[in-house]
Amino acid sequence: MLSILSPAKTLDYDTAPTTRKSTQPLFLDEAATLVDAARSMTPEDIQSLMGVSEKIAHLNHERFMNWAPEFSLDNAKQAVLAFKGDVYTGLRADTLSTKELTFAQKHLRILSGLYGLLRPLDLMQPYRLEMGTKFASCRRQKFI
């Protein structure tokens, strides 16, 4: 069985990860394409596109500009440990044993507006891009 979680708007990159185990996102090339499109936008464009405050628009503009496709524990964090919404608080991922994280890696997926589909230990850099946000400059691709 595979369980699917939605992403959370709240992220935690201040707390050190409880494991060094990590994997790379499966759709990293597609994420890089979206980031390239987002980098051409001003903070005002981001604010208008996403319907967020000026502060959040500037924060995410900075995130897009700092995003780098080489992911490591120095510039990214495991998805299940980075997201901090209600579901992730209830999951208490930071308390999971190695065995439980291995099980989650096989049976849990996280939807992401930027990364597509993430496994719990996939590294991700901070972002905000809600699913359904459309960029006019991105061509539509079909993934199977």
Q: Render pLDDT for 35-60 as a digit per residue (tens, 0 to 9).
A: 999 999 999 999 999 999 999 999 99
- Average pLDDT score over residue span 15-36: 95
- Tallying the residues shown for the chain, one arrives at 144
pLDDT reported for residue 134: 72
Amino acid (1-letter code) at residue 13: Y
Task: Identify any residues that bridge with 3 across adjacent strands, giving them in sequence order.
Answer: 108
How much of the chain, in percent, has pLDDT values that exceed 90?
A: 84
What is the domain partition of the chain in residue ranges? 1-25+74-126, 27-70
140 has pLDDT over 50 = no
pLDDT reported for residue 119: 98
Mean pLDDT over all residues of the chain?
Answer: 91
Please give the C-alpha separations between residue 103 and each of 24, 55, 107, 112, 144, in angstroms, as whole numbers.
17, 38, 6, 20, 24
- Average pLDDT score over residue span 5-29: 95
Alpha carbons 103 and 22: distance in angstroms, whole number: 14
Buried-exposed string 92-129: b where 16+ CB fall within 10 A, e elsewhere: ebbebeeeebeebbeebbbebbbbbebbbbbbbbbbbb
How much of the chain, in percent, has pLDDT values that exceed 70?
A: 93
pTM of the model: 0.88
141 has pLDDT over 90 = no
Please, which pLDDT band fits residue 33 given cuts at 50, 70 and 90? very high
- Average pLDDT score over residue span 107-129: 96
